[in-house]
């Protein structure tokens, strides 16, 4: 299954009893796939029973194949955050600092808009151990903002911490004051935010 190897390897690392069995790995792959979808749709409060149901396995198999619900969610969300950190790394290598920042911001906000669980992990204490990934993500955002400041393309009065908060604010609920958000509302919000952050010539 694509996109699950890092999380699967995290769950199986150091477990010699499960590693040699191909069927065990297949079950873990199914659980990781199901957990990633369930976390995106439901959030970090999704139950082990719901993940097992989506994976097509019994709850007994669930607990034989993964150490705990929390360990499974941590592996899945760590994988998602690692992917976002890679996106930030590519953005840092962009010779155009503003283009790099906007490409990262678009990918970051799109992922937050698509995943309730990622929003949970980034926005509140959720009882999961994700600090190593969060620390690396904070560092990447700080560096991206620093590059944009040095190039004079980002408003100098906006520190990197503010950029992190305004990007988090781009995703909205589906309704406000009786209005319903369109599927691309986050894109419109992001465009407005980025226009406000961009350092106009002579500002």
Domain identity same for 92 and 129 = yes
Residue from 124, 18, 35 nearest 72 by CA = 35
Domain identity same for 104 and 9 = no
Number of domains in the chain: 2
Among 44, 69, 94, identify where a domain stops: 69
Asked if residue 202 is part of any domain, the answer here is no
For residue 30, count other CB atoms closer than 10 A to its CB: 21
Domain identity same for 36 and 112 = no
Domain identity same for 144 and 187 = yes
Asked if residue 115 is part of any domain, the answer here is yes
Read off the CATH number of the domain in which 94 is found: 1.10.357.10
Domain identity same for 176 and 78 = yes
Domain identity same for 59 and 81 = no
Domain identity same for 62 and 76 = no
Domain identity same for 116 and 159 = yes
Per-residue model confidence as pLDDT tens digits over 84-122:
999 999 999 999 999 999 999 999 999 888 888 887 788
Rounded to the nearest integer, the mean pLDDT of the chain is 87
Asked if residue 122 is part of any domain, the answer here is yes
Per-residue model confidence as pLDDT tens digits over 132-179:
999 999 999 999 999 999 999 999 999 999 999 999 988 877 788 888
Domain identity same for 173 and 103 = yes
- What stretch of H or E contains 133? helix 131-150
User: Rounded distance, CA 67 to CA 27, Å?
Assistant: 13
When computed from its CA atoms, the radius of gyration of the chain, rounded to whole angstroms, is 19
For residue 14, count other CB atoms closer than 10 A to its CB: 8
Domain identity same for 56 and 81 = no
**What global pTM score does this model have?**
0.83
Domain identity same for 144 and 170 = yes
Among 16, 44, 69, identify where a domain stops: 69
Among 69, 104, 125, identify where a domain stops: 69
Asked if residue 203 is part of any domain, the answer here is no
- Tell which wins on pLDDT, 9 or 132: 132
Q: Which two tokens stand for residue 73?
A: 């969610």
Domain identity same for 103 and 190 = yes
Asked if residue 62 is part of any domain, the answer here is yes
Domain that holds residue 173: 72-197
Q: Residue 51 gets which letter from DSSP? A: H
Per-residue model confidence as pLDDT tens digits over 19-30:
446 777 888 899
């Amino acid at each position: 299954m694509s996109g699950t190897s890092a999380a699967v390897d995290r769950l199986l690392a150091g477990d010699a009893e499960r590693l040699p069995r191909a069927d065990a790995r297949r079950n873990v792959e199914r659980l990781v796939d199901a957990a990633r979808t369930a976390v995106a749709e439901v959030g970090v409060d999704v139950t082990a029973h719901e993940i097992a149901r989506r994976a097509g396995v019994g709850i007994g198999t669930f607990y034989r194949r993964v150490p705990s619900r929390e360990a499974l969610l941590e592996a899945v969300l760590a994988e998602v955050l690692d992917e976002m950190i890679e996106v930030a790394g590519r953005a840092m290598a962009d010779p155009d600092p503003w283009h790099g920042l906007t490409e990262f911001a678009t990918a970051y906000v799109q992922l937050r808009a698509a995943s309730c669980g990622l929003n949970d992990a980034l926005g509140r204490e959720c009882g999961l151990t994700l600090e190593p990934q969060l620390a690396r993500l904070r560092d990447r955002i700080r560096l991206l903002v620093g590059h944009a400041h040095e190039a004079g393309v980002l408003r100098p009065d906006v520190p990197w911490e503010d950029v992190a908060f305004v990007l988090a604010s781009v995703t909205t609920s589906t309704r406000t004051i009786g209005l319903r958000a369109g599927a691309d509302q986050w894109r419109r919000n992001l465009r407005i935010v980025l226009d406000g952050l961009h350092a106009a010539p002579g500002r």
